[in-house]
């Protein structure tokens, strides 16, 4: 393990606290504050991964995760960006996309085969003959790609989401971002400040001369209570209405590993600053080549000297500053090649001269030599006429600065190329969005800070908390400070470009770009797609601005026409788990949930509910069914939709949504009816009871309960009717007591006369049990037997349930589940909407046309117009009952009815214990619906075998209905 | 969701809380002598304006009311009713 500096004030590590981790099955140590990448670097690891296509060795380059160079498998999670991941005790780190190891990858020979794989190689080859593709695809998929994931992988960790509101959202916690946050906060506004690194400071944080200032600013930010700071939080999306999304990586003390943050702000300040513009030369991504910030932060933040002997090839004063700092820390600097002929900071030049560091102006690195790592570098004049080779193990290379414009472009701001700075600058910004700091091309620390204050005040003005005069004063102040610095224009060193990489993630070279242009792809958007430059995990971090600049240069286009490619969210690779958030179980349970489970109920998720579907391992439910037909059983039907509607216009509202004439419902009686949509398709059925004048209680099917209030209000929205509808679904439970012995059971717990004369079929009664439990009782016959539906307040459900259980113990009362009910009602041909209907099935198709009352056109009943039109339509499917031929088994639900074409489908079919044969219901074309027609049934994967049924009259069981009326 | 919607009861809220209810097309036509084509148009035909349209929204995770707003379909932003009405007068 390398020795760490421990005297630097800028350090973010605690070298005394060791952290152990496993890399390639061996134990290594990093220190507190390390990222996975720096810990590996400290242990001498230089080759982190192999590239996607050519399997070239890759190492540390930017330290901010702009490329996939350091993507590894960490704790079984593939494609983790090691530069952005804090080291934790016991982490297990593996290499990915290698055959062998990253150091010795058996696939590395592919690098020499690049001549075989020009741009668009996949598009041009392997499709003739078509048979080749499946074979080739398998091999390519094995050789290319990043991490692998097994299909049964379960993502570890906990994920969260928050949706804060704020006045001002500042993206970027560098000097200008912090100043903006402070300025806005001092105007009494609530501010959210996001910083993608683990601590505030940005451009000031890791530089010796500015470090103290960054601490001062961070202290001021933290002292202001109305600034909420999110560190280690990357912004990933920006949408209209100033909605900003991001994700935060949790600290060990946080309850989440990552969390999604969706911020709604009145005003947004973008202070994302700059990254370095990658310098393009031959082998510019070989391990040992890194950017200035990477080299400097390795030393100043993590206490690691990045190499022994270095050559700098830079185009910005930061390079000179870094060379001086690193020289002072013991790095031997063989040469600084500065792209710029002039324009350097004279003070820096003087110091470099004092330290005797050789400096060549107008020179640039043009080739990195070395098989796997840098051994030497060839530098040349920018015209390429003279060159020399210098031995070194580190090349610090960058062409200059490039602004992080992603947040602006995904918020649909427009960019324009600025010739002075060489930057893409925000030209047209969305409303209430401001850019500041280095995004404006500013370099002078005072200018950066002042521009931050200005942006903060402009944001305050958006929130109407700042005067225009105050803004004018700061503007003037900024004008007197140094403006944007001149940027370098050089995009590539003078090279042919066969091994000069413009995009590391996708292994795209300059040569590939040229090939694409020669083929006629003349704009960056097309070139990006054809060469896949910028489509990798780095989200265009490396080629983002180089691609359009190079394309313009190669085609000798004027500056004005240079347009970067579109940026889309997520700006930074984000885990799907983070977007998904916490996995809440949203299912509802009924009051009888626990008791039914204790009785052996087997539960299934049905819609929004968990319901007891079976009460034994016999999924045909033979015992449950026979018990209902001959004895007595109980079903928890609490999931039924239950509503009360009252008010002067309640009846009108019911007339609108139900197809029957609701004015005919008599007090104390019930009516079964259905609701249709405007196409006449049946969407719901239920029972309506009149409690008193303009006061009704009605039920809906389980699945529709959630939409009923919305439906009623939607379809009466123009009428200004006075009614109130209350959803009682969760307030009331329902017990369905069924079977020939159900009256004898119920009698024991009620005080009133419930004989058939006093409480007949289709009647409604209200009574109390034990003088306190109010019950709404309905005599219905869904399962085709004597049956009572008891509507009980949810809080009393368990009591009534236990009372019935005790009362029925003499008959050995049993539970029955949803499946038994399904078979019982099917034998009676009582339909369940959604099972005997689908979206296109109308009221007439399912044989419920008798419910529709045509005499109430004034009510404008939903569906009535469409039903009138559908009445004469002969092409519609009809619901029919059938039984199977030769006593064969029932077909699966959903099997097709066929002849030479599909003619319909089976809705529900079961082997009936009551009838001792297989019966079912099907929706078939009109001509097939006559009784006696033979149905040819096609089941999934049945091949040429068919089974046959015959249409019979409905219902199958007790056609007279005497059993439910007894 | 970037869209915010101003509910007449609950005020300006996140678009996630609402359910879309279609373009404003006026009340249901009288059924007497209604041409089937006119009915079909009323139910199914939409103008699909690229610009400001009046449309219905339901505050499903709130007060449960149906109301209309003006929304610019090109920017997916709600337009204040007052502003739009003033524009009409001009």
Task: Give A597-636 pLDDT, tens digit per residue.
Answer: 999 999 999 989 999 999 999 999 999 999 999 999 999 9
* DSSP run (H or E) holding A20: strand A14-23
Backbone angles phi and psi of A116, in degrees to 5 = -80, -15
H/E element, B39: helix B36-44
Quick check: helix, strand or coil at residue A731?
Answer: coil
DSSP 8-state symbol, A342: S
Residues A481/A443, Cβ–Cβ less than 8 Å:
no
Contact B56 A714 (CB under 8 A): yes
**Would the pLDDT of A584 be above 60?**
yes
Residue carrying the six token digits 């080779």: A389
Distance from C-alpha of A44 to C-alpha of A60, rounded to nearest angstrom? 12
Subunit contact A719:B36, Cβ cutoff 8 A? no
The answer to whether B21 contacts chain A (CB < 8 Å) is yes
Look at A564 and A320; give whichever has higher pLDDT.
Answer: A320
pLDDT at position A1 over 80: no
> Quick one: closest CA in A to B27, which residue?
A718
A641-727 maps to which CATH number?
Answer: 3.30.70.1400
| A713–B66 CB contact, under 8 Å | yes
- A608 vs B contacts (CB less than 8 Å): none
Closest chain A C-alpha to B46 CA, distance in angstroms: 15
**Phi then psi for A267, rounded to 5 degrees?**
-145, 150
- Inter-helix orientation angle A546-554/A524-531, to 10°: 110
Among candidates A240, A679, A869 on the partner chain, residue whose Cβ is nearest the Cβ of B75: A240
Give bridge partners of residue A267 from the DSSP assignment.
A168
Judging contacts by C-beta atoms under 8 Å, the chain B residues touching residue A718 are 26-28
Q: Show the beta-strand stretches assigned E in A431-524.
A: 433-435, 501-503, 508-509
Q: Which residue of A has its CA nearest to B39?
A: A865
**What interface predicted TM-score (ipTM) does this complex get?**
0.93
Contact A866 B39 (CB under 8 A): yes
CA distance A694 to A690: 8
Cis preceding-peptide flag for A382 (omega within 30 of 0): no
* Chain A (139-198) residues lying within 8 Å, Cβ to Cβ, of chain B: 163
Q: How many CB pairs under 8 A join A and B?
A: 49
B36 at interface of A, judged by CB pairs closer than 8 A: yes
Closest Cα partner for A615 from A842, A626, A166, A964?
A626
Task: Return the CATH superfamily for domain A159-275+403-479.
Answer: FAD/NAD(P)-binding domain (3.50.50.60)
Tens of pLDDT, residue by residue over B37-72, are: 999 999 999 999 999 999 999 999 999 999 999 999
Whether residues A865 and B2 touch (CB distance < 8 A) is answered with no
What's the CA gap between A62 and A296, in Å, rounded?
A: 10
In this structure, what is the dihedral angle of CA atoms A956, A960, A964, A965, given to the nearest 10 degrees? 180
| Low-confidence winner among A105-119, A147-161, A535-549, A889-903 (lowest mean pLDDT) | A105-119
Q: Minimal CA–CA distance to A658: which of A637, A647, A643, A648? A: A643
The answer to whether A181 and A168 are in contact (CB under 8 A) is yes
Rounded-to-integer distance, Cα A16 and Cα B6, Å = 57
Per-residue confidence band for A656, with pLDDT thresholds at 50, 70 and 90? very high
The number of C-alpha atoms within 13 Å of B77 and in the hemisphere containing its C-beta is: 11
CB contact under 8 A, B64 and A710: yes
Nearest-Cα residue of chain A relative to residue B74? A240
Q: H/E element holding A123?
A: helix A121-124
Mean pLDDT value across residues A277-302:
96
- The residues, ordered by sequence, that sit 6+ positions from A525 with a Cβ below 8 Å of its Cβ are A565, A566
Angstrom distance (rounded) from CA A942 to CA A960: 37
- What are the C-alpha distances in Å from B28 to residues A704, A714, A719? 23, 12, 10
CATH of A593-638+731-824 among 1.20.1250.20, 2.10.109.10, 3.30.1360.120, 3.40.1050.10: 3.30.1360.120
**pLDDT-derived band of residue A689, with 50, 70 and 90 as boundaries?**
very high
Query: Tokens 């009428």 belong to which residue?
Result: A719
Residue A535, pLDDT > 90, answer: no
Q: Structure tokens of A69? A: 């160079």
Nearest residue on chain B to A726, alpha-carbon basis: B64
CATH class held by domain A281-398 = alpha beta
CB-based contact (8 Å) between A717 and chain B? yes
- Confirm or reject contact between B64 and chain A (CB < 8 A): yes
A382: closest CA of chain B, how far (Å): 47
Q: Which CATH class is domain A14-102?
A: alpha beta
Residue A308 · residue A393 · CB < 8 Å: yes
Indicate if the pLDDT at residue B89 is higher than 50: no
- The CATH number for B4-89, chosen from 3.30.2270.10, 3.40.228.10, 3.40.30.10, 3.40.50.1400, is 3.30.2270.10
| Interchain CB distance below 8 Å, B75 and A718 | no
Backbone angles phi, psi at A821, to 5 degrees: -60, -40
Indicate if A281-398 has the same CATH topology as A159-275+403-479: yes
Question: CA neighbours within 13 Å on the CB side: how many for A217?
Answer: 32
Q: Does the structure show a pLDDT above 60 at B83?
A: no
Domain parsing of chain A, residue ranges: 14-102, 159-275+403-479, 281-398, 501-577, 593-638+731-824, 641-727, 874-966
pLDDT of residue B86: 54
Check B19 against A710: CB less than 8 A apart.
Answer: yes
> Do the chains contact at A239 and B2, CB–CB below 8 Å?
yes
Q: Is A713's CB within 8 Å of B27's CB?
A: no
pLDDT reported for residue B82: 66
Examine the pLDDT at A655 and tell me if it is beyond 90: yes
| Mean of pLDDT over chain A | 93
DSSP H helices, A851-958, are 864-870
B84 pLDDT band, cuts 50/70/90, is: low
Pick the residue from chain A with its C-alpha nearest to B33: A865
Closest Cα in chain A to B57:
A714
Domain spans of chain B? 4-89
What pLDDT is attached to residue A135? 81
Are the beta carbons of A501 and A507 closer than 8 angstroms? yes
Read off the pLDDT of residues A185-233 as tens digits, 9 standing for 90 and up.
Answer: 999 999 999 999 999 999 999 999 999 999 999 999 999 999 999 999 9
On whether any CB of chain A is under 8 Å from the CB of B2, the answer is: yes
Contact A124, A116 (CB under 8 A): no
Residue range A48-103, pLDDT digits in tens = 989 888 889 999 999 998 888 899 999 989 999 999 999 999 999 999 888 888 88
Question: What is the average pLDDT across B71-85?
Answer: 82
CATH number corresponding to A874-966:
2.40.30.110
Instruction: Work out the minimum CA distance from B14 to partner chain A, whole angstroms.
Output: 9
Best of A263, A579, A865, A867 to substitute, by most chain B Cβ atoms within 10 angstroms, is: A865
Cβ pair A102, A50 in contact under 8 A: yes
- Is residue A511 predicted with pLDDT exceeding 50? yes
List pLDDT tens digits, range B22-41: 999 999 998 888 888 999 99
């Amino acid at each position: 393990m390398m020795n760490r500096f421990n005297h630097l004030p800028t350090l973010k590590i605690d070298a005394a606290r060791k952290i152990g981790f496993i890399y390639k099955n061996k134990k290594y140590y990093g220190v507190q504050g390390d990222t996975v990448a720096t810990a590996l670097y400290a242990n001498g690891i230089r080759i982190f991964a192999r590239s996607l296509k050519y399997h070239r060795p890759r190492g540390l380059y930017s330290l901010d995760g702009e490329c996939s160079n350091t993507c590894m498998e960490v704790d079984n999670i593939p494609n983790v960006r090691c530069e952005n991941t804090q080291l934790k005790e016991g982490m297990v780190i593996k290499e990915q996309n290698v055959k062998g190891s990253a150091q010795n990858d058996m696939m590395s020979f592919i690098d020499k085969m690049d001549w075989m794989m020009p741009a668009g190689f996949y598009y041009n080859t392997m499709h003739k003959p078509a048979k080749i593709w499946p074979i080739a695809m398998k091999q390519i998929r094995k050789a290319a790609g990043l991490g692998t994931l097994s299909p049964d992988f379960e993502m570890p960790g906990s994920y969260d989401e928050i949706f804060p509101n704020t006045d001002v959202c500042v993206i970027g916690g560098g000097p200008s971002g912090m100043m903006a946050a402070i300025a806005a906060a001092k105007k009494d506004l609530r501010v959210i400040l996001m910083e993608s690194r683990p601590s505030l400071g940005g451009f000031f944080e890791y530089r010796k001369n500015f470090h103290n200032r960054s601490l001062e600013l961070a202290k001021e930010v933290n002292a202001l209570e109305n600034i909420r700071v999110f560190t280690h939080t990357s912004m990933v999306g920006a949408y209209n209405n100033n909605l900003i999304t991001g994700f935060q990586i949790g600290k060990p003390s946080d309850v989440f590993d990552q969390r999604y943050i969706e911020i709604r702000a009145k005003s947004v300040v973008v202070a994302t600053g700059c990254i370095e513009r990658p310098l393009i030369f031959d082998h510019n991504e070989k391990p040992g080549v890194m950017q200035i910030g990477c080299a400097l932060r390795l030393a100043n933040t993590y206490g690691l000297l990045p190499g022994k002997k270095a050559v700098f090839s830079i185009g910005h004063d930061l390079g000179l500053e870094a060379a001086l700092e690193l020289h002072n820390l013991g790095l031997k600097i063989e040469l600084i090649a500065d792209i710029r002929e002039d324009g350097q900071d004279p003070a820096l030049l003087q110091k470099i001269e004092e330290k005797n560091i050789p400096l060549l102006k107008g020179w640039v690195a043009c080739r990195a030599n070395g098989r796997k790592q840098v051994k030497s570098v060839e530098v040349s004049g920018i015209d390429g006429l003279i060159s020399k080779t210098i031995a070194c193990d580190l090349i610090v290379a960058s062409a200059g600065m490039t602004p992080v414009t992603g947040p602006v472009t995904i918020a649909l701001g427009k960019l324009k190329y600025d010739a002075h700075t060489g930057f893409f600058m925000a030209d047209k910004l969305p409303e209430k969005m401001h850019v500041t700091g280095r995004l404006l091309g500013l370099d002078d620390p005072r200018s950066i800070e002042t521009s931050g204050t200005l942006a903060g005040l402009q944001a305050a003005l958006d929130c109407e908390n700042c005067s225009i005069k105050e803004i004018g004063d700061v503007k003037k102040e900024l004008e007197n400070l140094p403006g944007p610095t001149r940027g370098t224009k050089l995009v590539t060193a003078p090279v042919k470009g066969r091994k000069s990489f413009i995009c590391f993630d996708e292994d795209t070279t300059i040569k590939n770009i040229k090939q694409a242009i020669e083929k006629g792809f003349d704009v960056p958007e097309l070139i990006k797609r054809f060469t896949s430059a910028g489509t990798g995990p780095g989200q265009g971090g490396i080629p983002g601005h180089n691609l359009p600049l190079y394309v313009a240069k190669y085609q000798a286009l004027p500056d004005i026409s240079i347009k970067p490619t579109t940026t889309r969210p997520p700006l930074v690779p984000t885990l799907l788990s983070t977007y998904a958030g916490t996995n809440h179980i949203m299912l509802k349970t009924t009051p009888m949930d626990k008791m039914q489970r204790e009785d052996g109920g087997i539960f299934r998720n049905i819609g929004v509910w968990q319901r007891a579907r079976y009460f034994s391992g016999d999924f045909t439910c033979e015992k449950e069914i026979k018990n209902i037909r001959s004895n007595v059983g109980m079903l928890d039907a609490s999931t039924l939709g239950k509503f009360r509607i009252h008010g002067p216009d309640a009846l009108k509202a019911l007339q609108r949504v139900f197809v029957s004439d609701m004015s005919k419902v008599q007090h104390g009686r019930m009516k079964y009816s259905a609701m249709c949509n405007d196409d006449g398709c049946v969407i719901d059925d239920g029972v309506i009871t009149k409690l008193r004048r303009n006061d009704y209680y009605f039920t809906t099917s389980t699945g529709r309960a959630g939409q009923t209030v919305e439906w009623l209000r939607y379809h009466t929205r123009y009428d200004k009717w006075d009614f109130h509808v209350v959803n009682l679904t969760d307030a009331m439970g329902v017990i369905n007591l069924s079977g020939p012995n159900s009256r004898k059971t119920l009698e024991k717990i009620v005080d009133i006369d419930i004989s058939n004369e006093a409480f007949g079929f289709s009647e409604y009664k209200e009574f109390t049990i034990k003088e306190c439990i109010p019950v709404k009782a309905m005599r219905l016959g869904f399962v085709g037997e004597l049956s009572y539906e008891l509507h009980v307040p949810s809080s009393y459900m368990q009591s009534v349930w236990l009372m019935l259980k005790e009362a029925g113990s003499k008959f050995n009362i049993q539970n029955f589940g949803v499946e038994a009910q399904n078979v019982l009602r099917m034998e009676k041909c009582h339909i369940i909407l959604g099972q005997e209907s689908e979206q296109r099935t109308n009221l007439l198709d399912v044989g419920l046309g008798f419910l529709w009352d045509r005499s109430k056109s004034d009510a404008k009943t939903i569906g009535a117009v469409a039903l009138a039109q559908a009445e004469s339509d002969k092409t519609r499917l009809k619901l029919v009952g059938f039984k199977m031929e030769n006593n064969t088994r029932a077909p699966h639900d959903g099997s097709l009815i066929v002849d030479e074409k599909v003619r319909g489908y089976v809705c529900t079919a079961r082997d009936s214990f009551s009838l001792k044969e297989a019966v079912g219901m099907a929706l078939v074309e009109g001509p097939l619906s006559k009784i006696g027609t033979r149905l040819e049934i096609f089941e999934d994967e049945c091949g040429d075998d068919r089974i046959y049924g015959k249409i019979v009259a409905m219902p199958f069981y007790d056609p007279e209905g005497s059993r439910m009326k007894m | 969701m970037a869209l915010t919607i101003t509910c007449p009861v609950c005020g300006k809220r996140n678009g996630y809380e609402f359910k879309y209810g279609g373009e404003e097309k006026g009340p249901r036509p009288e059924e007497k002598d209604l041409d089937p084509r006119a009915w079909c148009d009323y139910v199914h035909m939409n103008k699909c304006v690229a610009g400001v349209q009046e449309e219905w929204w339901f505050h499903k995770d709130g007060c449960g009311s149906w109301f209309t707003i003006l929304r610019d379909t090109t920017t997916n932003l709600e337009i204040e009713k007052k502003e739009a009405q003033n524009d009409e007068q001009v």
